[in-house]
Amino acid sequence: MSEAPLIVCADDDEDILSLVSLRLERAGFRVVQVVDGEAALAAVRAERPALAVLDVMMPKQTGYEVLAALRADPTLADLKVILLSARVQEADIDRGLEAGADAYLAKPFKAGDLVAKVQELLGG
């Protein structure tokens, strides 16, 4: 049996970061937690995860900026990205998807929705 897929989770709110990680770990994924945009970028480059869950409003670099940097890197073409944000207006969602996110989930999220979306993106 191959190793479980690795997911980088980035959120400056540690309660939410723990919650997301816990839900993904219960669903059988391995999780790396980071608390800002720069760390997220570094973690993705170092760990080469299958998927990243990025909060939009983060210190140092926003989720949009991290996403733009990731999409600019051809070696990360396979990486899936989910934006997770409390900004729920249509404009925010459109902006996230246009920036290259594979999915945009609104906070508060349902645990089932998050896991289902991750599994769908990772083809499992």
Binding site for other proteins (CB under 8 A): 13, 15-16, 19, 22-23, 57, 85-90, 92, 106-111
Q: Which CB sits closer to other proteins, 26 or 48? A: 26
Q: Which CB sits closer to other proteins, 8 or 109? A: 109
Question: CA-based angle 96:101:103, to the nearest 5?
Answer: 95
Q: Which CB sits closer to other proteins, 55 or 65? A: 55
DSSP string, 76-96: GTT-EEEEEES--SHHHHHHH
Q: Please state the closest distance from residue 91 (CB atom) to other proteins, in A.
A: 9
Q: Which residues of 46-63 are buried (b: 16+ CB within 10 A; e: fewer)?
A: eeebbbbbbbbebeebbb
Q: Which CB sits closer to other proteins, 44 or 84? A: 84
Q: Please state the closest distance from residue 9 (CB atom) to other proteins, in A.
A: 13
Q: Please state the closest distance from residue 2 (CB atom) to other proteins, in A.
A: 28
Q: Please state the closest distance from residue 3 (CB atom) to other proteins, in A.
A: 26
Helix/strand/coil percent split, the chain, to 5: 45, 20, 35
DSSP state, 62?
-
